[in-house]
Amino acid sequence: MYHARVASSRRSGGSDEHPRRAYAAAREREEHKAVIRWIVFDVGGIVVYEAGDVIDRHIARRLGISLSHFQRVTRPLFDRATSGEITLLDMYESVVREVGSAQDPGELLEKHLELYREHSTRRNDGVLELIADLRKRYHVACLTNTEPEIAEINKVGGLFDPFERAFLSTDMRLRKPQPEIFLAVLKELACPPGESLYIDDREVHVAGAQSVGMTARLFRDCAQIKSELAEILGTR
């Protein structure tokens, strides 16, 4: 559309129209760049790689049930765990009762944490470099859904150290994609929605951020998000 308007002005003899439009576009880019103050990243699947259903599949086999059965039983319990209402140990105690298993909940938890450490703590160096570069010009925070025991592992392991502020669902007693968790983060940052940018690898969480007025983008890979950030922030 922009190029069509420029071409039209040239045909009509508007010799100074193109410079004026170019200047206005440049100003608009600079103004938009200045608007973004806080960039907020999700963590799992972005800062650290995730292992998909590895944990679920292993625990389901130990319980002698199908993966779909395990996920059906645990889904509402995981929601409560990420909201800080219960721990993973509480969850496994409920699961064992629900499926009538003789497995020890504490042993299931230990296996869960072992598999998590093995498969879900490898960090994405490209994303960490991006965060370090962004922090030269912007404030950078993270917002993650997590569970109490996993949160402790990652606090001790320094996973949240690259960020100025770290917001954990278990601490906030809220979880993504609830709009309230995004509003709570913005309030803590003293940042209007229009001056924030949120990045997540799940569409439903991106939509949750957008619902409160945040600019939000879906993460697919490091190169893609760098390109989109450069466009949004006017750093191309």
State residue 35's pLDDT score: 87
How crowded is residue 34: how many other Cβ atoms within 10 Å of its Cβ? Answer: 11
Whole-number Å distance between alpha carbons of 64 and 223: 41
- 212 or 10: which carries more pLDDT confidence? 212
Q: In residues, how long is the chain?
A: 236
Q: Tens digit of pLDDT for each residue in 79-125? A: 999 999 999 999 999 999 999 999 999 999 999 999 999 999 999 99
Q: Tens digit of pLDDT for each residue in 1-46? A: 333 333 333 333 444 455 556 544 544 444 444 489 999 999 999 9
DSSP H helices, the chain, are 2-11, 17-35, 54-63, 67-82, 88-99, 105-119, 125-134, 148-156, 169-172, 179-189, 203-210, 222-233
Identify the helix (H) or strand (E) that includes residue 39. strand 38-41
Whole-number Å distance between alpha carbons of 35 and 44: 27
Q: What is the pTM of this model?
A: 0.83
Q: What is the CA radius of gyration of the chain?
A: 22
Whole-number Å distance between alpha carbons of 45 and 67: 21
Whole-number Å distance between alpha carbons of 59 and 11: 70
State residue 234's pLDDT score: 86
Whole-number Å distance between alpha carbons of 146 and 116: 12
